[in-house]
Structure 1
Amino acid sequence: MLKTLTSVIILIFALNGLTAQQEFNIRLRTAIDGYYSESHNVITRDGYILEVHRIPFRRFRIKENDSKNPKPVVFLMHGLQGSSLSYIYLGPERALAYLLAEAGYDVWMGNARGGLNSRRHIFLNPDTNAERFFNYSYEDIALKDVASTIDYILKVTRQSQLHYVGHSQGGTAFFVLNSLRPEFNTKIKSAHLLAGVGYMEHFPNKILNAIAFGTNLLYSVALEQGIVEVLGPRDANSLNEEEYNKSPAYSLLLTVIDVIVSIHKQLEMVTPASLKQYAHFGQNIRAKSFRRFSYDPLENFIRYGSLSAPEYDLSKISVNITMHYTVNDHLLDERDVLSMASVIPNAKARKITRETYNHNDFVLAPDSKELLYDYILEELDKNR
């Protein structure tokens, strides 16, 4: 039965005209898991083409329409160097996307610019125009990618609101979008942030704390060397090692990128990202704050009207938020979570009960269903 249904679903995908290999891989994975899925292209206002995935039905179904009672919509946004795969990785009966689909939700999963599923642009080539293509930070992902995707989803589903779930940088993007563009608060019915990174006054990782002091120098050297992407075709493994000893700063840069690459290659679902995303986080770690990307004083004044980059004002966020966190997180301290929750009017903090639960466990740990997802489903059902 399962084999027959899977074959039928894959055939339907083929008839729909699959062209991109990465699109086929995601849709094939959901088909093998027994779910019908769709791929949608969202074009941002600055020309990036984002592939967004949708799981509209329960398992083993290819139709489930009820025009009188449309399904509530949930939008899942991944973390830094993640993808939509983050939310189906644990498979049926464990992965959040599948659990939501089974509970009767219309599930959408985003993909940020530069990733394997969104490494496209209407006129920029990410390989030959890399410096321009990868000139973005997480603020661009928030204000353009997440904003465009939310508007697209609401238009397609003909609904006025959706529920938001964001892991790590997916939470960061939520903070940025709803503080800088408060009108999006009315488009989001509720939000669950899984280790959503924002305040960094107590950033816990000592190694990254040390590296962050040299963020601007390292980023400047990287741009001079044409290094703008992490874990893409031009990552540290493909750099010209003859250049390694030319300067201490360049040597340190290669070491830093090697550290980043080694950390992420331990995961099975990483995609490329811009180095500017890391530089933005690095600036905030160094400044022990949560602020916009800092350029030189003149450019800051032109962009922001002040010589220094302004902080994000989280008090402007009015969405009903639950901020899930763990005390064993190497990228987010409990004190910073509680500080953010005290500033955001309708936010509450919820600690994961397993003491060894870490930053990546939010999407990788099999016991996330019991520790986290069941709670999210219960809260969403109260607010359908």
Structure 2
Amino acid sequence: MAKNKMLTKNVFQITTVFLVLLFCDVTFSFKFEDDKFLPPENFKDMRTDEIIKFYGYPGEEHKVLTEDGYILSNFRLANPGGYPILLLHGMTATSDSFLLRGPRYDMSFLLWKRGYDVWMWNARGNIYSTEHVNMTYKDEKFFLFSIQEYGQYDTPASIDYILNMTGHTSVITIGHSNGCGNVLTMAALRPEYNDKVLLNIMWGQAVMLKYELFKGMMEMSYSMYTRYMNFDHDQSVMKKGSEKLELVKAFCNPESPLLSSLCLMFMGLVSGPNSNQTDFYAVKRMMTKFPAGSSMNAFKQMMQNMRSGEYKPLSYGVTENMRRYGTREPSPYPLGEVKIPTAMYYSCCNDFLSSKADNKLLKNKLTNVIKFQTISYKKFNHGDFLWAKDGYELLYKDVLVLIHKYTPSKYRSEIPIL
């Protein structure tokens, strides 16, 4: 009997030592290097999970299957057990847009440090999401999707995947630019998902575009592209490996001082000029992965909404509209049906892609806007949401406080937000 007790005690001690060693190995296997510099020319050849690991943090890739057969490559800044947050990039961007400045400054890393499990979405058709169960990336049919599919299929699939992986029943979402429409479209078309998003945060929404300051230039660029550049009627836009994308990459080559300077000037013009918040290395990193691919239908829907001043599905012409929608023209998305608590952050005066008037227009269409916040710096532009030098004081701190408030109490960090 005594011998059995001694054996049990030894087994227990050995097991305890093994678990401690295992825990220590997991704990100290990450060597955080927050101040490590990532050159833009290296950034362009790295995937999202590789960028995360470059700084010593846990990065993962996850394949997500949508209901209509697309396979999305989403990435995770892994914090198992933490409350999940999903970041949604803008048009023709990627998950890399949330990793432009490094662990000391990027919202993705700031959330991870407060215990959140951070997930980053990639839209169908961009450089990461190039797979389908029945089609190849080279098939023209692969790109017969519009903005609607981002909200109707991609975002619900991503949320369900996260919930199945983590055991949680809801997530918090943060969208930038066009990515702000994903959750709204989802909740409007699929009401059951209203309960799966605890809080929806929008940065520089590009949902309502009626009063966009860059509207004239967008109209001209779209017309020139469809008439003179897209002579082969390609259904993709700047897809991975295309000649058009290679030309853009050559123009924005981070290794060329002249070309990268011209590229920076262009980004400043599009985002909003004369901001003193621009982190030039962050912009150079962004431009190595932007544009990252989308579809002509997505751009067509965006232009139609810009012209109509509404947020509604793509119009395919009377005959096809009757078949798809049962009406000659598609009706606007029922945004009044969105029940998710929503916070809107916007620039008052210098965001050429998201005007103050359009933010107010969207606010009036929603029924549960719990925060409508203008950025205090008047020259804050569209790109500054991602790379502002004073991003923490101007935006991220307030967002962290709001997220903390909505996070279930048992998942809240005890670290003060200073």
TM over 0.5: yes
1:267-311 CA distance string (max 9 Å, x none):
233212222211111111122221110011011111111100211
SS of the residue aligned with 1:50?
Answer: strand
Residues 102-113 of structure 1 aligned to structure 2 (within 5 Å):
102-113=113-124
CA RMSD of aligned residues (A): 3.1
Following the alignment from structure 2 to structure 1, what is the Cα–Cα distance between the partners of residues 100 and 215?
29
| Cα contact 2:72–2:124 (8 A) shared by 1 | yes
1:287-346 CA distance string (max 9 Å, x none):
222111001101111111110021112111111111111121111211121121122111
Query: Counterpart of 1:342?
Result: 364
Taking a change above 3 Å as real, the CA distance of residues 379 and 197 of structure 1, as seen in their structure-2 partners, is: same
Q: 1:302 aligns with which of 306, 310, 323?
A: 323
Q: 2:354 aligns with which of 332, 352, 357?
A: 332
Matched, 1:232 2:274: no
Taking a change above 3 Å as real, the CA distance of residues 86 and 357 of structure 1, as seen in their structure-2 partners, is: same
| Cα contact 1:135–1:276 (8 A) shared by 2 | yes
Q: Partner amino acid for 2:380?
A: Y
Matched, 1:317 2:338: yes
Following the alignment from structure 2 to structure 1, what is the Cα–Cα distance between the partners of residues 191 and 168?
19
Q: Partner amino acid for 2:368?
A: N
1:201-240 CA distance string (max 9 Å, x none):
212214335438959x93899485335222533343779x
| The 10-residue stretch of structure 1 (185-194 or 269-278) with the greater mean CA deviation from structure 2 | 269-278
Following the alignment from structure 1 to structure 2, what is the Cα–Cα distance between the partners of residues 276 and 197?
16
| Cα contact 1:230–1:275 (8 A) shared by 2 | no
Following the alignment from structure 1 to structure 2, what is the Cα–Cα distance between the partners of residues 47 and 219?
32
Following the alignment from structure 1 to structure 2, what is the Cα–Cα distance between the partners of residues 213 and 101?
39
Following the alignment from structure 1 to structure 2, what is the Cα–Cα distance between the partners of residues 369 and 198?
25
SS of the residue aligned with 1:279?
Answer: helix
1:338-371 CA distance string (max 9 Å, x none):
1211221111321111111111111122321221
Q: 1:267 aligns with which of 283, 287, 295?
A: 287
Q: Partner amino acid for 1:323?
A: M
Query: Counterpart of 1:30?
Result: 52
Runs of 4+ in structure 1 deviating by more than 6 angstroms, as ranges, are 21-24, 262-266
Following the alignment from structure 1 to structure 2, what is the Cα–Cα distance between the partners of residues 335 and 383?
28
1:94-150 CA distance string (max 9 Å, x none):
0011000001111111111111111122231212x1x11111111111111111001
Query: Counterpart of 1:279?
Result: 300
Taking a change above 3 Å as real, the CA distance of residues 122 and 223 of structure 1, as seen in their structure-2 partners, is: farther
Matched, 1:154 2:153: no
1:145-201 CA distance string (max 9 Å, x none):
111001110111111111000011110212211111121111000011011212222
Following the alignment from structure 1 to structure 2, what is the Cα–Cα distance between the partners of residues 161 and 219?
45
Following the alignment from structure 1 to structure 2, what is the Cα–Cα distance between the partners of residues 137 and 179?
16
Query: Counterpart of 1:101?
Result: 112
| Cα contact 1:22–1:116 (8 A) shared by 2 | no
Following the alignment from structure 1 to structure 2, what is the Cα–Cα distance between the partners of residues 78 and 365?
16
Number of corresponding residues: 337
Residues 361-376 of structure 1 aligned to structure 2 (within 5 Å):
361-376=384-399
Taking a change above 3 Å as real, the CA distance of residues 22 and 137 of structure 1, as seen in their structure-2 partners, is: farther
| Fraction of identical pairs, as percent | 27
Following the alignment from structure 1 to structure 2, what is the Cα–Cα distance between the partners of residues 237 and 24?
17
Following the alignment from structure 1 to structure 2, what is the Cα–Cα distance between the partners of residues 273 and 167?
16
Following the alignment from structure 1 to structure 2, what is the Cα–Cα distance between the partners of residues 149 and 220?
37
| Cα contact 1:23–1:39 (8 A) shared by 2 | no
1:64-111 CA distance string (max 9 Å, x none):
x6xxxx421111111111111111211011001100000111111111
Taking a change above 3 Å as real, the CA distance of residues 341 and 31 of structure 1, as seen in their structure-2 partners, is: same
Taking a change above 3 Å as real, the CA distance of residues 210 and 87 of structure 1, as seen in their structure-2 partners, is: closer
Following the alignment from structure 1 to structure 2, what is the Cα–Cα distance between the partners of residues 222 and 302?
27
Query: What TM-score do you get using the length of structure 1 for normalisation?
Result: 0.80
Following the alignment from structure 1 to structure 2, what is the Cα–Cα distance between the partners of residues 317 and 206?
27
Residues 6-85 of structure 1 aligned to structure 2 (within 5 Å):
25-57=47-79, 70-85=81-96
Query: What TM-score do you get using the length of structure 2 for normalisation?
Result: 0.73
Taking a change above 3 Å as real, the CA distance of residues 96 and 238 of structure 1, as seen in their structure-2 partners, is: closer
Q: Partner amino acid for 2:83?
A: P
| Cα contact 1:49–1:118 (8 A) shared by 2 | yes
Following the alignment from structure 2 to structure 1, what is the Cα–Cα distance between the partners of residues 154 and 313?
17
Q: 2:99 aligns with which of 85, 88, 95?
A: 88
| The 10-residue stretch of structure 1 (160-169 or 362-371) with the greater mean CA deviation from structure 2 | 362-371
Q: 2:207 aligns with which of 198, 206, 228?
A: 198
Matched, 1:123 2:134: yes
Please say which structure displays the higher CA radius of gyration: 2
Taking a change above 3 Å as real, the CA distance of residues 237 and 362 of structure 1, as seen in their structure-2 partners, is: closer
Following the alignment from structure 2 to structure 1, what is the Cα–Cα distance between the partners of residues 241 and 210?
34
The structural deviation recorded for 1:28 is 2.1
